[in-house]
Amino acid sequence: MVAEEVKNWNFKNSVSELKKEFGDKILVDQPLMKLTTFGTGGNARLLMEVKSAEDLSMIVKVARRLGIPVFMLGGGSNVLIADSGYDGLILKNSIMGMECDGEEIRCGAGEELQKLVDFAADTGLTGLEFATGIWGTVGGAIFGNAGAYGSETGAVVKSAELVDKQGNIRMVTANYLEFSYRSSKLKKSGEFVTRAVFALKTGKRETIRQKIAEIMAKRSVKFPIEKNSAGCFFKNIPDKNSKFGKLSTGKLLEDAGAKDMHFGGAQVFRNHANIIINDGTARSSDIKKLADLLKSKVENKFGIKLQEEVILLGNFEEENV
């Protein structure tokens, strides 16, 4: 998936207008590599941290009036930003807060997903254990319907607070979000999630903690915890005959001979062929080129076209010329 196309907009006039409205909250020409788990990418022409739905509503309205492209960045764990950066406004989601009400948890979209998992365990609520070790924020997990071990975020979301492209704030039910495999309606509608309510069930703290520990142990071997990566780069393939109804893309890549592949500073993780890591010297263009080579490998051997799970942000076509 490629994010919103860049539109023509007046940078100088836009900065002036934004500074009038938001002052020093608007940052110019800000590096993004430290805001992503890949640790690559160029600068954002504009950057603003948002801490409430009201903040988000205001900036979205002004950006729309000025014709500025907008992209919401959570934990930066499922995005690859072009080396040329993003010619628009990056909004850093820092809407925090968690509270429990019976078997429901209300959570800010900027919270780390793992903190939500731990909070649920501490309050004796079960249903989120599957998300153990998944990088990123709650908002990102809802946006991409993050999942593992046969469960998905959409299965436990009851409702969500959204800000639409016009800056309107409203509450919607889970049905509105149209969750599907590694996707939601938000990818098409351009709406931003600010808070969500999760419907869970009462469980035993010891049992919940044990499950979390088991999953974390598995992930520590399977995933590059201390490496610059975005987790699985490609979606698994729907297959009703496979475990959890998905054919492992990692297995396809391994069978296609992907584990020894690299390009520049980007290489395939030795323990999981569907994960690309940055050895510390990679550029985003290296990662994109390696991903393209992996796609070709699988298509040539199996006739299957892989789809990116990672969002591509910025102009990669220019960098491949």
Residue 240 has pLDDT above 90, yes or no: no
Contact 280, 265 (CB under 8 A): yes
Residue identified by tokens 């072009």 is 82
2 SS3 class: strand
Encoded tokens for 64: 């729309």
> CA–CA distance from 80 to each of 27, 38, 86, 262, 315 (Å)?
21, 7, 11, 17, 11
Q: What is the mean pLDDT of residues 133-157?
A: 95
How far apart (Å, rounded) are the C-alpha atoms in residues 275 and 206? 32
User: Exposed/middle/buried for 320, CB within 10 Å: 0-12, 13-18, 19+?
Assistant: exposed
For every residue of 54-68, DSSP letters joined together read: HHHHHHHHHHHHHT-
Calpha distance 4→315 (Å, rounded): 10
Report DSSP letters for 226-238, one per residue.
Answer: TSEEEEE-BPPEE
Give mean pLDDT, residues 155-166. 98
8 A C-beta contact, residue 151 and residue 130? yes
User: Which strand (E) or helix (H) includes residue 161?
Assistant: strand 157-163
- Residue 59 is predicted with a pLDDT of 98
Q: What are phi and psi of 138, to 5 degrees?
A: -60, -40
CA distance 302 to 87: 37
**Window from 71-80, 130-139, 243-252, 307-316 with minimum mean pLDDT:** 243-252
- Closest C-alpha among 46, 44, 48, 34 to residue 84: 44
Strand 27-31 and strand 43-50: pairing?
antiparallel
* pLDDT of 1 over the 50 cut: no
pLDDT at 271 exceeding the cut of 80:
yes
pTM (whole model) above 0.85: yes
DSSP 258: -
Confidence bin at 320 (pLDDT 50/70/90): low
User: CA 144 to CA 310: how far, in whole Å?
Assistant: 10
Q: What is the mean pLDDT of residues 269-273?
A: 93
Decide: 154 and 193 in contact? Cβ < 8 Å.
no
CB atoms < 10 A from the CB of 278, how many? Answer: 25
Note the pLDDT of residue 319: 61
Would you state the pLDDT for residue 142? 98
pLDDT tens-digit readout, 122-143: 999 999 999 999 999 999 999 9
Burial of 321 (0-12, 13-18, 19+ CB in 10 A): exposed
Q: Are 125 and 105 in contact (CB under 8 A)?
A: yes
Domains of the chain: 11-93 (3.30.43.10), 98-206 (3.30.465.10), 224-316 (3.90.78.10)
The CA distance from 173 to 91, in Å, is 24
Asked if pLDDT for residue 6 goes beyond 60, the answer is no
Q: What is the mean pLDDT of the chain?
A: 94
